[in-house]
Amino acid sequence: MNAEDKLNQALNGALRNWESMSGSDSDEAESTADEFEASFYNFIDALREWVYGLDSRPVTMEEFSALPLVQTILERLPAPLYLNFETEAELILENKSRVEDDKYD
């Protein structure tokens, strides 16, 4: 499986878990939130792998956002996740990784 396929698969998993979390009752809230968080960071790791594998890597957020696959991701991503996605994308462009403790809690 190539990096783009992995990225799409990870995005699909994160979106499924987002839907599950959004529709969960209070008894399930913590477990579905944990599942979503894990799948979101799996998606971010796949995004990082894809970006690092590009022949011509974007340097700015404008260049990154102009990539057709990124535009497709942004169209599919729920609005509440935009900020987290952009923050993670900026770190990827800066060749930085978020320390586990710094991830969103």
List the pLDDT tens digit at each of the 105 positions of the chain. 899 999 999 999 999 999 988 887 777 778 888 999 999 999 999 999 999 999 999 999 999 999 999 999 999 999 999 999 999 999 999 998 776 555 544
> Within a domain: residue 92?
yes
- Predicted TM-score of the model (pTM): 0.88
> Within a domain: residue 60?
yes
- CA–CA separation, 85 and 71 (whole Å): 12
State residue 42's pLDDT score: 97
For residue 69, give both structure tokens: 């696959």
> Within a domain: residue 105?
no
Query: What total number of domains does the chain contain?
Result: 1
> Within a domain: residue 73?
yes
DSSP 8-state class, residue 99: -
Domain range for 75 is: 3-99
> Within a domain: residue 104?
no
State residue 32's pLDDT score: 87
